[in-house]
């Protein structure tokens, strides 16, 4: 996996060297309301990270994750992950979070755009999915801004703090990503021809 720099955010691949930084972010307050984040000791988390795949490439499966860094001085502000299941190796699922102080600046939307580009271009996925609880308006807006479409409600689709909850499934396809990129390129060409 490679590091990716967007306009304001650096996506640093998570590996044994920075697993503890991610572990600290995972334990920041106000992250568990809408998602399940297992509480594990730092050493166990580092062991889990060591067993993850190293390279995002076609047909690679497992959990790929980036620590998000931004600000001046630059510091960890959250994470974004892409999970690819063995049973559906052409479909990925994204997840993301920002620490409380980093919200409301567009960092999550910027990071998600970068991971979508990386997943379609490098891993050659056909579809990327995301699941949110219906009341997570901030996360829904992040998905909307990145071209995800609401697909359907999954009854008891997730477990949060030990309780089964319904989740909305969103997805973006390679075809719609290609179309959006072509339209963007055409608009840029028209602007520079004026
Ligand atoms: C979901 C979550 C990552 C969204 O964070 P966020 O800061 O709202 O999302 P972004 O970083 O994309 O920021 C977008 C917001 O910043 C605002 N913003 C301010 N300055 C901006 C700028 N320069 N550029 C873009 N957006 C900017 C936007 O208007 C937008 O606000 P709005 O959604 O109220 O319209 C965050 O709420 C979170 O971590 N929640 C807890 C964990 C969680 O729920 N994770 C998702 C589980 S599915």
Ligand 1 centroid, distance to 146 Cα (angstroms) = 12
Ligand 1 centroid, distance to 98 Cα (angstroms) = 8
- Mutate which of 25, 93, 103, 110 for ligand 1? The one with the most ligand atoms within 8 Å of its CB, which is 103
Name which of 83, 87, 93 is nearest 127 in CA terms: 93
**pTM, rounded to two decimals:** 0.94
Give the CATH number for residue 26. Answer: 3.40.630.30
Helix (H) or strand (E) run with residue 47 in it? helix 42-50
Q: Where are the beta strands (DSSP E) in 85-179?
A: 91-98, 127-132, 149-160, 163-173
Q: Give the separation between CA 88 and CA 97, rounded to whole angstroms.
A: 24
Q: Average pLDDT per run of 10 along the chain, which is 194 residues long?
A: 95 96 91 85 94 93 96 95 95 97 97 96 94 97 97 95 94 94 88 81
Per-residue pLDDT at 188: 85
- How many domains does the chain contain in total? 1
Per-residue pLDDT at 38: 81
Domain that holds residue 117: 4-193
Would you give the DSSP letter of residue 85?
-
Per-residue pLDDT at 110: 97
* 67 touches 22 (CB < 8 A): yes
What ranges in the chain are assigned the alpha helix state H? 19-26, 42-50, 107-121, 137-145, 174-193
Would you give the DSSP letter of residue 91?
E
């Amino acid at each position: 996996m490679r590091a990716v720099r967007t306009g304001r955010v650096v996506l640093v691949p998570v590996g044994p060297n920075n697993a503890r930084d991610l572990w600290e972010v995972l334990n920041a307050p106000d992250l568990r309301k809408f998602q399940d984040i297992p509480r594990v000791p730092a050493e166990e988390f580092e062991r889990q990270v060591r067993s993850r795949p190293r390279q995002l490439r076609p047909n690679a499966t497992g959990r790929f994750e980036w620590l998000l860094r931004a600000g001046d001085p630059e510091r960890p502000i959250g994470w974004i992950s892409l999970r690819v299941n063995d049973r559906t190796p052409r479909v990925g699922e994204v997840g993301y979070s920002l620490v409380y102080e980093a919200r409301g600046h567009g960092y999550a939307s910027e990071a998600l755009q970068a991971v979508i580009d990386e997943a379609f271009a490098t891993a050659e996925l056909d579809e990327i999915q995301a699941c949110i609880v219906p009341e997570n308006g901030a996360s829904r807006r992040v998905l909307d801004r990145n071209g995800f479409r609401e697909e359907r409600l999954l009854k008891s689709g997730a477990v949060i703090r030990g309780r089964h909850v319904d989740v909305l499934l969103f997805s973006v396809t390679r075809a719609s990503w290609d179309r959006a990129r072509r339209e963007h390129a055409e608009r840029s060409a028209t602007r520079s021809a004026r």
